[in-house]
Every structure is written in C-alpha cells, then in structure tokens.
Amino acid sequence: MIRLTGFHRPRPTTACSGLTVTAMERPDRLRFLLATPTGQKLVPLVAKGDAVEPFTVLARWEDRPYAICPVKGTVTEFTTACDAHGHQDMPVVVITVDADQPSEPRHFASAREAVDAAGILIMGCTGLAMNQCLPTATAKALAVTAMDLYPGVHSAASLLARHGEACVKAAALAGSLVGVTRTVLVLPDGADAAPLKEASAAHKVEIHHAPVRYPLALPPLLIKRLEERLGITCAVMPLSTAFAAYKAAQGTPPSAVMVTVTGHTADPRAMLAPLGATVGQVLSAAGQKVEEGDKVVTAGPLTGQALCNLETPVEAGLSGLHVIPRKDVVETACDPCINCGVCLEVCPTGVQVHMIGRYAQYNIFDRAQGLGIKSCIDCGLCASVCPSHRPLLQWINLTRSQMAAAEVRAQ
C-alpha cells in the first residue's frame, strides 16, 4: 500500500509484469450508467420491459452510441448511483441477464463499423470516440501503450500477459483505423518482448520500452518522450481501448475490464470484471472486505476518487480498486502552507502548485492564470509530499472547473 506524505522524495514505479487473472462470474443483474465521465446525464433509449441484446444502444451522446449493452436480457429498472468520478445521483439502467446468451458473434461489414457500433472510447475519462483520438493531420504515429498509468495498478500488464499476440493484432488494427504511418506498442522497461517478436513483425508493429518511474507513463509525458525517440508527431491510446476495438471487430461488444484490486490482503489481484457489476461485487469476488472507516479509491492511490458507496457500477476505463484500511488513511487538512517548496520540486511540469492552492482556498480562481495550471497532468505527487496535508490536487481540479465555468459565462 502506498502511503506518501511529508518531507521525502517519492519515486514510485508502475507495473512491469502482469498478475494471474481471475475471471469474475457475471451477476444476474447488471447496472449501466447513463452519464458521461464529466457528469452529463444522458437520455435512455430503452424503456422498462424492453428486450435488449449485445450492441443494443442504451444511450447516445453527441449523436453517437455511448452506453452499449453487452448481453441479452430485459430492462427491469431505472435507478441512480454514484459514478467512479465523484458524481452522485447519476441515471442507471438495470438489466436482468437471460440464461441463454448468443453463441455466435455479430457480423459487421467492416472493423470501423463494428468499433462505431460498440461506442468505444479512448479512455474512460476523455469522452472521445476512437476515431477522434488524434488529429490525423498532425499525428503520424500511434503508440498503443501497455503501460499502467498509476502505481499499484497491474491491469495493462496483466492484459498483455494474458493476450500477448492478440494485443499486437489489436495495436495494428488501431493504427489502421486512425490512419497513421507507424504503430508502436509501448511496453514497460523489464517486460519481455521476445514472445511478441514474430507477431509484431508480421503486423508491422514496432516495439518500444518506456521507463516505469511514475509519472512518466502518463500520456503527456509519454508522448513527449516518444516524439523525441521516433522523430515524428505521436498520439497515445491505452491497450485496453485497442483490445476492445479488436474484440468488437470480431463481433463481440466490450463486456469486461481488467481491474487491479488491492486492500487488506497482502497481494494485489487482477480481476476480469464484467461491465455493469458493482464495485462491491468485484471486491467480494477478489476476497476484499471493506470495514468501517476504510476508503475505496478508484484508479491509482495518488490520484483516484474515493467512492461514497459500493453500488457504483463498473464501467469502461476503470483500472483499479484500492481498499485503504482506516489506519492507513491520510486525512487532508487546510493547515497553512509553510513554503517548503517540496510540491514544486516533485511537479514534473513546473506548475506553481502552492500558489494555486492558496488562491483556491479563498475562492480567488482568476489569479491562477499564468501559474501553469493548464500544464497539470493530475499525477498527484504534489499532494502526496505536502507536510501540511493540503488537498492540492483537489484544489487544482476545482480551480480548472471554475475557470472553465467563467469562460462559458463570458461567452
């Protein structure tokens, strides 16, 4: 368990090897969020009592499929739930799964048609369709990254270990769909590329390694590093997205995500969690108990969102669930900044974190202009080393949202 606070220089690393994967049994009832990661509620396209099947569109966003049903079943209920991004009372459709599921995949005329029908996104937090993942006029290479973004998460590494050759094919498909001249599969330093050599040569996918020191795998820093190495403009796509597109092209909609679960037990577990299962069901299947006072955090321990309850549905983009025991919870505070400068030293992009935090604390958001806030990559290192336990990352996110709202009002 990562516990970072105080006067020290953290050097956490991300995963370089996968875990043994446990495929979780699909629940009889699945819950699907009808909302975007930014909290925009969507209008359902199904009604109570409707029969659904794989690829049924449950909701659309900006005139394209967004929420896609992965199973055959019946719509039995509409309710609300908290999502993994901190939004409460988000609309949810509940589907009771039929005992008999289709045995044959659905046929599409082309891979692009299949990917569009599956509503596949770049990342759970971006809200961009796969064919919008990069401006093809400027990006000449696509890097499909098998790097886990956060310490304590082994999801991408586990997917690569489980489906190595298929991951190479997925990268090749992604490159062809977005129309780039070079496709690169990025592996963490220490990962063995030998088993992928034959497939990568056959599908013209280059293999590159990247450092596992956090936060160098986050897209802005990884893109910069790859562009310097390749000598051309580059965009990044998570391996999970490329693999979902690969499965969709074979006629199967996204139905599960690889989630790393950590907590009271000593060893992390890689769970293949069905989309629509609840966080509580995933934790139970992984053998993790949540006791009074514990916190359950999504994504990585440094940047993740603490959940308000365990009924949050599993959705695309979820990569980690971390149960932080009550004794290890580091409470944030609003103690005064002591001008130690540690947050400035660890910030990889030079953001004036201490000043943004001060202005946000007193609702003076316009003063954050010119302090580098647009360069923040949400790595969370600043808050992890603050000896005053100030919620610096939360204040940065609050400031950005308030600045965006001010821009809308000014239009």
pLDDT at 124: 36
- pLDDT band (50, 70, 90) for residue 129: very low
- pLDDT band (50, 70, 90) for residue 406: confident
- Mean pLDDT for the stretch of residues 315-336: 86
Question: Could you tell me where the beta strands, DSSP code E, fall in 239-392?
Answer: 256-262, 269-274, 295-298, 320-324
- pLDDT band (50, 70, 90) for residue 122: low
Question: Could you tell me where the beta strands, DSSP code E, fall in 219-266?
Answer: 234-238, 256-262
Structural domain contains residue 370:
yes
CA-wise closest residue to 291 among 266, 239, 328, 333: 328
The residues pairing with 59 across neighbouring beta strands, listed in sequence order, are 44, 67
Structural domain contains residue 378:
yes
Structural domain contains residue 393:
yes
- pLDDT band (50, 70, 90) for residue 137: low
Asked if residue 5 has pLDDT above 80, the reply is no
pLDDT digits (tens, 9 = 90+) for 180-229: 899 999 999 999 999 999 999 999 999 999 999 999 999 889 999 999 99
The CB-side HSE value for 273 (13 A sphere, CA atoms) comes to 32
Q: Which amino acid, residue 369?
A: Q
Percent of the chain with pLDDT over 90: 66
pLDDT digits (tens, 9 = 90+) for 10-66: 467 887 788 999 999 999 999 999 998 878 899 999 999 999 999 999 999 888 898
Q: How many CB atoms lie within 10 A of CB 153?
A: 26
pLDDT at 276: 97
129: which 2 tokens? 């369709």
Structural domain contains residue 361:
yes
- pLDDT band (50, 70, 90) for residue 7: very low
CB 251 within 8 A of CB 263: no
Q: Choose from 93-107, 111-125, 329-343, 395-409 the range with maximum mean pLDDT.
A: 93-107
CB 34 within 8 A of CB 93: yes
Mean pLDDT estimate for the chain: 89
Structural domain contains residue 70:
no
Of residues 137 and 68, the one with the higher pLDDT is 68
CB 268 within 8 A of CB 261: yes
pLDDT digits (tens, 9 = 90+) for 151-170: 989 999 999 999 999 999 99
Our count of domains for the chain comes to: 1
Domain containing 385: what range? 342-410
Which residue do the tokens 């949540």 mark? Answer: 290
pLDDT at 75: 98
Structural domain contains residue 406:
yes
Structural domain contains residue 233:
no
pLDDT at 63: 82
161: which 2 tokens? 């270990």
Structural domain contains residue 46:
no
pLDDT digits (tens, 9 = 90+) for 253-279: 999 999 999 988 768 999 999 999 999
| pTM, to two decimals | 0.89
